[in-house]
Amino acid sequence: MGKALYRKYRSKTLDEIVGQGHITDVLKRSIAQGKVAHAYLLTGPRGVGKTSIARILAHEINQLPYDDESNHLDIIEIDAASNNGVDDVRDLREKVQLAPVSASKKIYIIDEVHMLSKQAFNALLKTLEEPPAHVVFILATTDADKLPATIISRTQRFGFRAIAPRDAKEHLKKIAKEEKIKIDDAALELIAKRGDGSFRDSISLLDQLASLADDKAGITSELVERSLGLAPHTLVEKLLAAYEAKDLNELIAILDESDASGIQASVLSSQLIDTVRSELVAKPQLTPLLDELLDVAKSSQPQIKLLTVLAAHAVPKSKTAPLSVSTPVIDIPIKELEIEATKEKPSEPVIVKAEVPKAKKAAAPKPQTGKDIVLNWDELIEYTKKNYVAVYSVLSKCSYEIEGNTLHLYTANKFYKKKLDDAKYRILLIKSLEAVGVVDAIIDMIPTASPPKDETAAAVAAIMGGGEEVSVEE
For residue range 383-402, list pLDDT tens digits in order: 988 888 888 888 988 989 88
pLDDT at res. 2 = 63
For residue range 424-459, list pLDDT tens digits in order: 788 888 888 888 888 878 888 898 887 766 555 555
pLDDT, mean over the chain: 80
Q: How far apart are CA 167 and CA 256, in angstroms?
A: 36
Contact 252, 311 (CB under 8 A): yes
pLDDT at res. 260 = 85
pLDDT at res. 129 = 84
pLDDT at res. 317 = 57
For residue range 249-268, list pLDDT tens digits in order: 888 889 988 888 888 888 89
pLDDT at res. 467 = 52
pTM of the model: 0.58
pLDDT at res. 319 = 42
Of 348 and 388, the one with more pLDDT: 388
For residue range 177-236, list pLDDT tens digits in order: 998 999 988 889 889 888 888 888 889 989 988 888 877 888 888 888 888 888 888 898
What is the arithmetic mean of pLDDT over 140-150?
90
pLDDT exceeds cutoff 90 at 42: yes
For residue range 76-87, list pLDDT tens digits in order: 888 887 777 788
Q: Which amino acid is at 230?
A: L
Residue whose C-alpha is closest to residue 398's, from 423, 432, 373, 370: 432
DSSP string, 178-208: HHT--B-HHHHHHHHHHTTT-HHHHHHHHHH
pLDDT at res. 40 = 94
**Would you tell me the crossing angle of helices 221-228 and 199-210 to the nearest 10 degrees?**
110
Any idea what DSSP says for residue 440? S
Rounding to the nearest 10 degrees, give the CA dihedral for residues 279, 283, 286, 288: 110
What is the arithmetic mean of pLDDT over 346-356?
45
Q: Which amino acid is at 15?
A: D
pLDDT at res. 469 = 52
Q: Is 328 helix (H, G, I), strand (E, B) or coil?
A: coil
pLDDT exceeds cutoff 50 at 365: no
* % of the chain surpassing 90 pLDDT: 15
pLDDT interval class at 55 (50, 70, 90): very high
pLDDT at res. 159 = 92
